[in-house]
Every structure is written in C-alpha cells, then in structure tokens.
Amino acid sequence: MSLAAAFAVPDVHQLLDDLVHRRVPDERGRFGPFGGAFVPESLVQALAHLTRGAQEALSDADFRAHLDQELQDAVGRPTPLTPAPNLGRELGLNVFLKREDLAHTGAHKINNALGQALLAKRLGARRVVAETGAGQHGVATAAACARVGLPCTVYMGAVDVERQAPNVARMRLLGADVVSVTTGEATLRAAIDEAMRAWVADPEDTYYLLGSALGPHPYPWLVREFQKVIGDEARAQVLDRTGALPDVVVACVGGGSNAIGLFHAFVPDSDVELVGVEAGGSAAGDAATLTRGRPGVLHGSYGPLLQGAHGQIHETHSVSAGLDYPGVGPEHALLQLTGRARYLAVDDEQALAALSLLCRTEGILPALESSHALAALPGIAAERPGATVVLGLSGRGDKDLPTLVPRVLGGGA
C-alpha cells in the first residue's frame, strides 16, 4: 500500500504546493495528514501557552536579534561549508560538508536547545526537562540552560547512558541532573516517555525542551524554526562558493531535526534532490520508520510508526543512539508523501565503513548518526556521477568512541 493510500490523502499535489509555499503546519499543527497534538487534557493549556509564546517570540525582532547574537557568540555560527575533495575523488562526487560538528557542544542540537532555553526564560519557566538519545541534545540543553540560568533535568535511556558515557559526564559537568531510564527498551523512546511524564506532573513551572522535530504541535514547527539556520547558511554558502545550487542535499534522519533544518531552505528549489537516510540497523532490528512504518500516534503526533499488527511499538536498533527511535517528524513524512524528498536506509556496517572512509580521506571523525548520511554517497554517485552534494555533518564522533573502539579498532586504542 502506498503512503498516500495508507493515510487517506486525496490531493498530494495540493500538499506539495503547501510545502513549497510555506503553508505548513496549519492552524491545527498538521503537516498534511501528519502531526497534530494528541496529548492528555492536562497538557492542552500548556501547549496552547507554548504555541502563543513561541509565535510571539519568533515574530519579535528583539528576540530574533538576541538569538542571532547568541548563536554567533556562544555557538560559533555560521558553521563552515567544508569541501571534501579527497572523499569526492574517491566517490566520484563534488562533496561539501555542512559542519554542525564544529558548533559548540559538537552537534546541531545546540541551535534548538539555545533557542528553546531563551524561550523558556521568556515564558517564566522555573526549570527545564529534556530527553536525549545520543547525548548531544542533553549536552546542548545543559549548556544552554547554564547560559540562561535555568536548572535542568535530562532523561536518558540506560542503554544509551552506557554507550554514550562521555556525554553523560559532560552533562553532569555542565550542571544537569541526568536520570537513567530503565523502562521499556531503555533507549530514546523510553527517555521521551519519562520526560513527558515529568512535564505532565508540573506543566506550569516546567518547560519541556524537546530535542527533535517531532512530538505534539508546536514542537515540530518550533524545532524546525530553530534549526533552519543550517539550511539558510548552507544555501547561501554553496551559492557563494560554486555559483549554483547543489544537485543533492543529504542528511541522516532519526526524529529528523538536523535534516529538516538543512532541507527547509531547499524545499522550493525543485531541481535540488533531498535525500534522508534512516538507520537500517542489523539482524537485531532497525529504526527505518519512513521505509516501513504504518500509521499511528506516538508522543502526541500522528504519523508513520514502527509497530506490530496490534499497534505495539517495535523495539528499534541502531549502532547510532540518536537514530534509535520508532517514529519520525511529521514534516519528513509529508516530504516523503509528496515526493519532494526520498528516504532510504543504510545498515550499521555501512555506517561504520563510511565513518572510517571520512576519517581516512578528510581527517574528520563524524558522529555515527552523520555516518549514515555518508553511507548513502556511493549510491548517489552511481545514480548521478559527478553531482554536487551538500551533506549535513550533524555531529562529531568523540561521543561514539566507546562503540567505535571495539567495532572499528578491534578493542585496541
């Protein structure tokens, strides 16, 4: 069954027009059939308050100017668009890397964390709660909350606490209270569950700083607005460097914040192909939601999910903690539905091989999440030899050393 049939979509062409002309989400927080806000009654007013406050803040020139200055002073924006000539020669492509790994705290997550921390302060929140998988959002939230002067608690699955130990230490050094979640599969989904429970318990004084472009409205829109700086910069940078738009823009997709941030500026450019790369995992399972998901509701949003015949959410697997999630942001689902973007999956071993290739050719250690996007490049080269590609290097790989040492170095340092 096609995605359009599965979600009972009558007019895909109209949805594509809405995407291109920036008419999504609608007033209900829907990206076509996807998204919305399916939450307990206790959160309805909190979400309405957040929506009003976010709309006011993002239309306030002073707030925007303050955020832009913070992104420059505290984050190090704009991040470079780095040519990768050695990698490109090996693959037969003209590759440019959008270097979010060089942003403060080592990933794109700081763009959204700082924006939402400033918003939480503006709205009068007394504390912040957040979830994290790979740990980068947790580190970014801890750093942002320290910057604005708010206490924060970060929920993290026990499996991820173990495999992302360096980031757990960084969060605690930055002043965050890190809570290890042992329920469920003890990865990102379980961490989101616990963070949402903490928010439900105290919606007036607690601000939930969601880390990806998913969850109930207004979060998919809000996170995109804070992450679209990636694509705005990349589009201007590649035009300045080459005089033309790229042929392909590619990024990894878990929940999808770095990808939607990079893709957004290029959506109206019909000649630019958008490629999202999910976690194909291994024989133990995968996290390829857009590749094989079915309709359902998870964490307040309607869209494709990895689930069984009776609606039980599947446990997921990926070598990359940040892609280990059974859902996806609603805007990505709409991009796929309309054909404006295509999504594919690469497995753990392909991602590890791509990581090693970038290390060897360019002297850059990427995050395992970003390595999934890198693993798509050989296929793109086979389809479009010589193409100019902008790839979102969403984070650096230091955090992944506990995983990489046994898997890539055979246990030796």
Residues taking part in catalysis: 109, 131, 394
- Residue 143 and residue 63: Cα distance in Å, rounded? 19
- Residue 16 and residue 18: Cα distance in Å, rounded? 5
Find how far residue 351's CA is from the centre of its chain: 17
Q: Phi and psi dihedrals of 22, rounded to 5?
A: 60, 45
Q: Phi and psi dihedrals of 326, rounded to 5?
A: -85, 0
Edge to edge, the sheet with strand 301-305 lists 30-31, 34-35, 301-305, 294-298
- DSSP labels for 195-255? HHHHHHH-TTTEEE---SS-SSTTHHHHHHHHHTHHHHHHHHHHHHHHSS--SEEEEE-SS
- DSSP labels for 308-360? -TTSPBPP---SSGGG--S---HHHHHHHHHTSEEEEEEEHHHHHHHHHHHHH
Q: H-helix or E-strand containing 248?
A: strand 248-252
Residue with tokens 């300045």: 240
**Gyration radius of the chain over CA positions:** 20
Nearest to 52 by CA among 110, 151, 152, 122: 122
> Hey, how many other C-beta atoms are within 10 angstroms of the C-beta on 387?
19
